Amino acid sequence: MDVLFVADPLASFKIYKDTTFTMMREAQRRGHRVWACEPRDLSWRSGGPVQALVRELQLTGQEPQWFEERSCTTWALHQFGAVIMRKDPPFDSEFFYATHLLGQAEREGARVFNKPAALRDHPEKLAIMECPQFLSPTLVTRSETEVREFHAEHRDIILKPLDGMGGMGIFRVGTEGLNLGAIIETLQRDGAQTIMVQRYLPAIAQGDKRVLVIGGKPVPYALARIPQGGEVRGNLAAGGKGVAQPLTERDLEIATTLGPTLVARGLLLVGLDVIGDCLTEINVTSPTCFREIMDQTGFDVAATFVDALEQALSA
């Protein structure tokens, strides 16, 4: 089977930790042909199918040149057995347009994972609104007054932009309220942008857990991303330390409750972010942490993903 990965530039991959690379490696191990392109390589012309300039890869696994390019050609997306959308956030206008091109490719017969319409319908921070039973107190607003009222009620809060990734733009404001006004102005740009505010969860000291859900079922281990050096953010991109650990009963409750609904919507791979007992985000664009869990526990997350992919294709 030919498998196309729509991803970030290959030169940016850090294969010692890259989840997309582990997917590619497992697909190649099973005899599938691995191809790659970037969203900018997608195109459509009236009367024809959605196509892309694609590169066939032979993985070497040796950095810095971790692949050999076997061919470079233009294919219609429906010619691939599967198309895996792995472009990292931000979910900007170009990402949005790419999902529409991928949606047209689906209408032409392509099998795309995660489903493009589901990517659009599940903004990673706002998707949690569907499951209030798992949340800490949360506010989504443009109003400075509402943010100040929320702070007055909860005293210790986290503020963050809706389009951030890797811990970007996250602020904590404690009881004293220092710099609250400046932080609000920075994030919501004088009322032009909506932000999210959540009650601070002290359990972040034990880690911001990434719970992977593949084919609607939870991976048995989470990666707890533990803040370091006085940071409030546990994200690995912000210097957090990743520690794999078995799912708690609460992690399992959240994952098994949401999993069947998410996979039914075309979300083959989801990354739930859980702090303590509370769900904080539902990540659907390009969830990571495969490699860290695999290296620390021996559980083959990549094989689980390709199993789920092959099963979805045969359904």
Give the whole-angstrom CA distance, residue 68 versus residue 298.
Answer: 28
Would you tell me how many other CB atoms lie within 10 Å of the CB of residue 314?
Answer: 6
Question: Residue 26 — φ and ψ, nearest 5°?
Answer: -70, -40
Would you tell me how many other CB atoms lie within 10 Å of the CB of residue 98?
Answer: 20
Could you please report the per-residue DSSP string of 261-292?
Answer: HHHHTT-SEEEEEEETTEEEEEE-SS---HHH
Please list, in sequence order, all residues whose beta carbon lies within 8 angstroms of the beta carbon of residue 58, skipping any fewer than 6 positions away.
28, 34, 67, 68, 69, 70
Please list, in sequence order, all residues whose beta carbon lies within 8 angstroms of the beta carbon of residue 35, skipping any fewer than 6 positions away.
2, 3, 4, 5, 54, 55, 56, 57, 75, 80
Active site residues: 125, 160, 210, 225, 233, 273, 281, 283
3 state DSSP class of 308 = helix
Q: Are 268 and 215 in contact (CB under 8 A)?
A: yes
Give the whole-angstrom CA distance, residue 233 versus residue 204.
Answer: 8
